[in-house]
A and B are shown apart, each in its own frame.
Chain A
């Protein structure tokens, strides 16, 4: 591996946002990319695509359990042992059905673990190594849903709220080091689910735009990023609405 290649690790590399970030990274320059995924079959398709886009890049897929703390620790230790990492993007998650979560505790549990605990464990496993190396950027994808609990998706929101508070603490811990921690809060994003179709009502952000915003924020080392930026304003209003008004909203 040429030393000049930037080393990037993506956790949850088959998520649409992560995949589009990777496309932007390999477009900029040849990189050394590690894709960590639960589903290696799908991740290999992502890797093959990136190899065609950038034949000079080094791209590999690692499979791991996303729940088991020991497996996460071993995987991260292994990656770090190979050399220092410039950028880490923790991107996995899945949007649960709120009404199912309200009836089925195991769905509730899974949503909290996948969207909250698991990303935190990955971040924590990298944090110590990064502090020691005194360099690198770690970006975690949270969500606007973590800013205030809402009846339409508060289980997912609670998990993402955990990520928000965790990222805050980690930023505090590493404030006087060379390590940058970035929390990204995407708004509702147009994943392949709705692409190319004439949606009625609200317009979703395109996944390309959200990825572009994320890559830019990582380059600049911004601490908290709403993607697209307009969500910073929307969520400021929502966070500050008094309860008597908030409770009338069907959101």
Chain B
């Protein structure tokens, strides 16, 4: 047994970890195993990838390329491959993953199971929109292949399916043409939410990538923020960055994100970015994955770990709901370090259980301060629920079942595709088994 945690580090639970490294053996391994759940890089924040006292199938050994057609951009690999390995192979050859989350240190299987989204959602949708084929191994010893055009119901259940429909072993993706690794980026400060929505609407047609950091703590500055947008650039101004990697070397005894550090941080971040505002050429890695060079940054929240709270609310009520949530957070005195705001594009997701929906998404992280943090979440839940929104399962460790069921109306349909030999802490908490 090995102690395993997820990215939020809310606890360390004993698991029976079984390595999957030969795709031909996976079906046999699953068949002879107790119920478990797939575990890749452990970058989801809550309990979607955990199964305390049970089995974890570690997929990171399934890390091989299968094929890549440089003329069509069709790419195939095993499911434990990291998105960074796809980007580093494809970009020099003129192809790129059109959708990646805020880190590229996740497996492609995890990216599908959580149907992750990124800064390009308003143009390219979510990760599942670019998947052409999934090979799924089931614990009853069978395998199946699904895609948008064959077994589309299985495909729709598996994209965003939280790993509960089977183990993804192989994947085929359609990459997108790109000139190179550089982006033409612009940073625009905004003073309040109305300005944010104005900027967001104005950017959607002309900018491929957009995301905002929002100040949710500074007195008099709540709702102000920094709007970042970018387009692929054809120029290559200088040699590529070296990618110096630092590691957070230890777990501090208390969270470094606290009442003392948050105000100065938010103040400083806003003002530095405001000062740097303008247009420039940047490399895709620091723009898309700003924290990937600080390995194990999650340790800075101390031994109790942290929660991510990410919701999406419909566009019509988006401004008021976000305003109300920021108000609740300010009143609570809890603050968020990495508060991120983005509007989603107007399209329905591929997966039955996918998170993105038309509207605006707000992501916040909070050091785990026990009851008072959970109480704040209850007040935020009320706002999300009244707005007709939902929470992101890849980030969740605590949402109540009624909010889950209200937010994911296709749940009953999804359950027909579940693999009875697969179970996670999240599935037991939210579905009951």
Residues of A in contact with B (beta carbons under 8 Å apart): 14, 16, 41-42, 45-46, 48-49, 52-53, 191-200
- Determine if A45 and B4 form an interchain contact, defined as CB atoms under 8 angstroms apart: no
Query: B40–A196 contact, CB under 8 A?
Result: yes
Residues B89 and A200 in contact, CB atoms below 8 Å apart: no
Flag if B66 contacts A48 (CB, 8 Å): yes
Please state if B2 and A53 are interface contacts (CB–CB under 8 Å).
Answer: no
A-B contact pairs, 17 of them (CB 8 A): A42-B22, A45-B24, A45-B78, A48-B64, A48-B66, A49-B64, A52-B66, A191-B19, A192-B61, A194-B19, A195-B58, A197-B17, A197-B42, A198-B2, A198-B3, A198-B5, A200-B2
Query: Which residue of A52, A193, A198 contacts B89 across the interface (Cβ within 8 Å)?
Result: A52
- Bound-state Cα–Cα, A23 to B292, Å: 23
CB atoms of A197 and B24 under 8 A apart: no
Q: Known pairs A197-B42, A198-B12. 6 more at Cβ < 8 A?
A: A42-B22, A45-B66, A53-B65, A192-B60, A193-B61, A197-B56
Q: How far is the CB of A191 from chain B (nearest CB, A)?
A: 7
* Distance from A84 Cβ to chain B, minimum over Cβ atoms (Å): 30
Q: Is the CB of B21 within 8 A of A16?
A: yes
Q: B19 touches which one: A46, A193, A200 (CB < 8 A)?
A: A193
- The answer to whether B23 touches A196 (Cβ under 8 A) is no
Q: Please judge, given known A-B contacts A42-B22, A42-B24, whether A196 and B60 are in contact too, CB under 8 Å.
A: yes
Whether the pair B67, A196 counts as a contact (CB closer than 8 A) is no
Chain A interface secondary structure, helix, strand, loop or mixed?
loop
Residue of A nearest to B81 (CB): A49
> Quick one: given A42-B22, A42-B24, A45-B23, are A194 and B2 in contact (CB under 8 Å)?
yes
Residue of A with least CB distance to B56:
A197
Contact B64 A196 (CB under 8 A): no
Contacts of B2 in A (CB 8 A): 194, 197-200
Inter-chain contact B40/A46, CB cutoff 8 Å: no
Nearest to A207 among chain B residues (CB) is B61
Q: Cα distance A149–B386 when bound, in Å?
A: 69
1/0 contact trace for B1-24 toward A, CB 8 Å? 011110000001000010111111
A197 to B20, CA, bound (A): 13
Contact A195 B89 (CB under 8 A): no
Please judge, given known A-B contacts A48-B64, A52-B66, A52-B68, whether A196 and B41 are in contact too, CB under 8 Å.
yes
Q: Whole-angstrom distance between the alpha carbons of A200 and B2 in the complex?
A: 7
Residues of chain A within 8 A of B67, CB atoms compared: 48, 52
Contact between A48 and B3, CB atoms less than 8 A apart: no
Q: Which 10 A-B pairs have the closest CB atoms?
A: A192-B61, A52-B65, A49-B64, A192-B21, A192-B19, A195-B60, A193-B19, A49-B65, A196-B60, A52-B68
A199 to B5, CA, bound (A): 10
- Inside 8 A of B56's CB, which chain A residues have their CB? 197
Q: Is the CB of A196 within 8 A of B66?
A: no
Task: Look across to chain A and name the residue whose beta carbon is closest to the beta carbon of B1.
Answer: A200
Contacts of A49 in B (CB 8 A): 64-66
Listed in ascending order, the chain B residues whose CB lies under 8 Å from chain A are 2-5, 12, 17, 19-24, 39-42, 56, 58, 60-61, 64-68, 78, 89
Contacts of B12 in A (CB 8 A): 198
A195 CA / B42 CA spacing, docked (Å): 11
Chain B residues positioned under 8 Å from A197 (CB to CB) = 2, 4, 17, 39, 42, 56, 58
Provide the residues of chain B in CB contact with A14, threshold 8 Å.
Answer: 22
Contact, CB under 8 Å: B4 / A198: yes
Contact B24 A196 (CB under 8 A): no
In the complex, residue of chain B having the shortest beta-carbon distance to the beta carbon of A52:
B65
Cα of A52 to Cα of B60 in the assembled complex, Å: 19
Whole-angstrom distance between the alpha carbons of A16 and B22 in the complex? Answer: 11
How many angstroms between the C-alpha atoms of A49 and B12 in the bound complex? 34
Contacts of A195 in B (CB 8 A): 19, 58, 60-61
The smallest beta-carbon distance between A25 and chain B, in angstroms, is 16
Residues of A within 8 Å of B65, CB to CB, are: 48-49, 52-53
Residue numbers in A under 8 Å from B64 (CB-CB): 45-46, 48-49
Interface contact B66-A41, CB-CB below 8 Å: no
In the complex, which residue of chain B has the Cβ closest to the Cβ of A42? B22
Report the Cα distance A199→B15, complex, angstroms. Answer: 11
Closest to B22 in A: A42
Q: Which residue of B22, B58, B89 is within 8 Å of A196 (Cβ)?
A: B58
Instruction: State in angstroms the CA–CA spacing of A198 and B41 once bound together.
Output: 11
CB distance from A189 to the nearest CB of B (A): 13
Contacts of A46 in B (CB 8 A): 64
Across the interface, which residues of B come within 8 angstroms of A200, CB to CB? 2-3
**A210 to B: closest C-beta gap in Å:** 15
Q: Within 8 Å CB of B22, what residues of A?
A: 14, 42, 45
A192 and B56 CA atoms in complex are apart in Å by 13
Contacts of A52 in B (CB 8 A): 65-68, 89
How far is it, in angstroms, between the C-alpha of A193 and the C-alpha of B66 when the chains are bound? 22
Residue of B nearest to A192 (CB): B61
Q: Which residues of B contact A53 (CB under 8 A)?
A: 65, 89
Interface centre among B2, B3, B23, by most chain A C-beta atoms within 10 angstroms, is B2
Contacting residues, chain B, for A192 (C-beta < 8 A): 19-21, 58, 60-61
Say yes or no: A196 contacts B21, CB within 8 Å: no
Within the complex, what minimum Cβ distance (angstroms) separates A196 from chain B? 5
CB contacts (< 8 Å) of A198 on chain B: these are 2-5, 12
Q: How far is the CA of A45 from the CA of B66 in the complex (A)?
A: 7
Q: Report which residue of A53, A192, A194 has the largest number of chain B beta carbons within 10 angstroms of its beta carbon.
A: A192
Q: How far apart are the CA atoms of A197 and B16 in the complex, in Å? A: 11
State in angstroms the CA–CA spacing of A75 and B23 once bound together.
Answer: 27
The residues of B that contact A45 with a CB separation of less than 8 Å are 22-24, 64, 66, 78
Q: How far is the CA of A45 from the CA of B21 in the complex (A)?
A: 11
The residue of chain A having its C-beta at the shortest distance from the C-beta of B42 within the complex is: A196
Residues of A within 8 A of B78 (CB): 45
Task: Pick from B5, B40, B60, B64 the residue with the most CB of A within 10 Å.
Answer: B64
